[in-house]
Amino acid sequence: MPKTLRASGSGVMIMRSYTRHLPWLDRAGRLSTLKLVAFMATVLPGLWIALELREGWLQPKPITEAIHQSGTWAVRFLLLSLAITPFRRVGQWGKLIAVRRMLGLAVLAYAIIHLALYAVDQHLDLVHVASEIALRFYLTIGFVALIGFAVLGATSTDGMIRRIGGKRWQQLHRIVYGLGALALLHFMLQAKLDISQPVLMSGLFLILMGWRALQSRGLGDSVAALIGVAVLAGTGTALIEACWYHAFNRLPIADVIAANLSFDNGPSAAGWVVVCGLGVAVLRIGRLAWNRWGHVLPTVAGWRDAGPRSTRPRGRSLACNSGRSGPNTRRRLDGAPSC
């Protein structure tokens, strides 16, 4: 083969091995709509913040506002990444695993942007930034969470997962729950008067933790248990809010809890948490109904070759079905355990 052709052939190979890692392609190098949507969803908020800063739409304190927005997006992506496993199980949508790593990395990216904006706000005086982080409790907590997310991000490559080993990787990545709690505490502590947003996010976090507690007892698929988690998470949310206002504003706990039952200003954060938790139970009911009667739909609607291909949960192994991982637990292609 002529030298130039051989050179261009290896160039194509190098190009292919790079493009294989493009975030919207699946492992076979084909376009994945799910991954493309997730990629757009993770990138667009950042571009929007950049545009707002450039166009001066964030007056009167553009950098402070950008710090708030980037921090809020970091928490949103954190909750979304933690919701992937419950949604895969409850909705039996195994393919969702393809976007979990991307969402996790989005948490890290937004948290780094958040810290960078804070440094800009402090006129890039890094000594001052470091001393503020050391002296202010809520910043110290945020910093610890950021370091933790950086460790998780650095150990999320295929090579690192292989090197660490699936089981140890899983154990290490369990720190994400503690990091999530720290990030939410940071969110709560920096809020001045209105804590509705951090309380709502904490309630959603409670649902996710409640689901994991159920799953460890093999009850993650039970509709009754999911309804129980919704009610408990709502109650927990109301208690967090009440204790917070009691501790910092001396408001009676009973009054704050009673305010949750008044719908004058729409549902409270606790109310929304119950609604979201019940939504998960409804999703489970819908999935069970589809498994049971979905095959009838194509006949009723006159479709052919449609409907659920099997009533067996797709996208997960029977070992995963048990809710426990063991020697038979199926591993994802990239080595990270899928359960």
Of the candidates 256, 265, 142, the one whose C-alpha atom is nearest the C-alpha of residue 199 is 256
> Which range binds ligand HEM by CB under 6 A, 111-119, 209-217, 229-237, 300-308?
111-119
From candidates 96, 161, 183, 336, binder to ligand HEM by CB under 6 A: 183
Closest approach, Cβ 107 to ligand HEM, in A, equals: 6
From candidates 66, 79, 139, 225, binder to ligand HEM by CB under 6 A: 139
Closest approach, Cβ 264 to ligand HEM, in A, equals: 25
C-alpha to C-alpha distance for 30 and 28, rounded to whole angstroms: 6
C-alpha to C-alpha distance for 234 and 268, rounded to whole angstroms: 10
Can you say how many angstroms the Cα of residue 176 is from the centroid of all Cα atoms in its chain?
Answer: 10
Q: Does 244 bind ligand HEM (CB under 6 A)?
A: no
Sign of CA dihedral 298, 303, 307, 310: positive
Indicate the residue among 89 and 186 with the shorter CB distance to ligand HEM.
Answer: 186
Closest approach, Cβ 258 to ligand HEM, in A, equals: 27
Of the candidates 292, 283, 319, 320, the one whose C-alpha atom is nearest the C-alpha of residue 90 is 283
From candidates 66, 133, 225, 283, binder to ligand HEM by CB under 6 A: 133
> Which range binds ligand HEM by CB under 6 A, 50-58, 97-105, 108-116, 264-272?
108-116
Residue in the structure block whose two tokens are 């890290």: 108
From candidates 62, 86, 104, 142, binder to ligand HEM by CB under 6 A: 142
Closest approach, Cβ 255 to ligand HEM, in A, equals: 25
Q: Does 82 bind ligand HEM (CB under 6 A)?
A: no
Q: Does 186 bind ligand HEM (CB under 6 A)?
A: yes
> Which range binds ligand HEM by CB under 6 A, 88-96, 112-120, 301-309, 321-329?
112-120
Q: In this structure, what token pair is assigned to residue 260?
A: 């949750």
* CA trace torsion 327, 331, 334, 337 (10° rounding): -80
Q: Does 118 bind ligand HEM (CB under 6 A)?
A: yes
Q: Does 74 bind ligand HEM (CB under 6 A)?
A: yes
DSSP, residue by residue, 272-323: HHHHHHHHHHHHHHHHHHHHHHTTHHHHHHT-SS-S-S-SSPSSS-HHHHTT
Q: 324-336 b/e with 16+ CB inside 10 Å = b?
A: ebeeebeebebbb
Q: Let me know the angle formed at the C-alpha of 178 by 249 and 145, rounded to the nearest 5 degrees.
A: 80
Indicate the residue among 204 and 281 with the shorter CB distance to ligand HEM.
Answer: 204
Closest approach, Cβ 198 to ligand HEM, in A, equals: 7
Indicate the residue among 137 and 303 with the shorter CB distance to ligand HEM.
Answer: 137
C-alpha to C-alpha distance for 322 and 339, rounded to whole angstroms: 10
Indicate the residue among 185 and 319 with the shorter CB distance to ligand HEM.
Answer: 185
Q: Does 320 bind ligand HEM (CB under 6 A)?
A: no
| Residue 62 Ramachandran class (φ > 0 left, ψ -120 to 50 alpha, else beta) | alpha
Q: Does 64 bind ligand HEM (CB under 6 A)?
A: yes
Can you say how many angstroms the Cα of residue 277 is from the centroid of all Cα atoms in its chain?
Answer: 16
Q: Does 66 bind ligand HEM (CB under 6 A)?
A: no
Indicate the residue among 187 and 245 with the shorter CB distance to ligand HEM.
Answer: 187
CB 237, CB 199: distance < 8 Å: yes
Q: Which residues bind ligand HEM (CB under 6 A)?
A: 64, 67-68, 71-72, 74-75, 78, 107, 111, 114-115, 118, 133, 139, 142-143, 145-146, 183, 186-187, 190
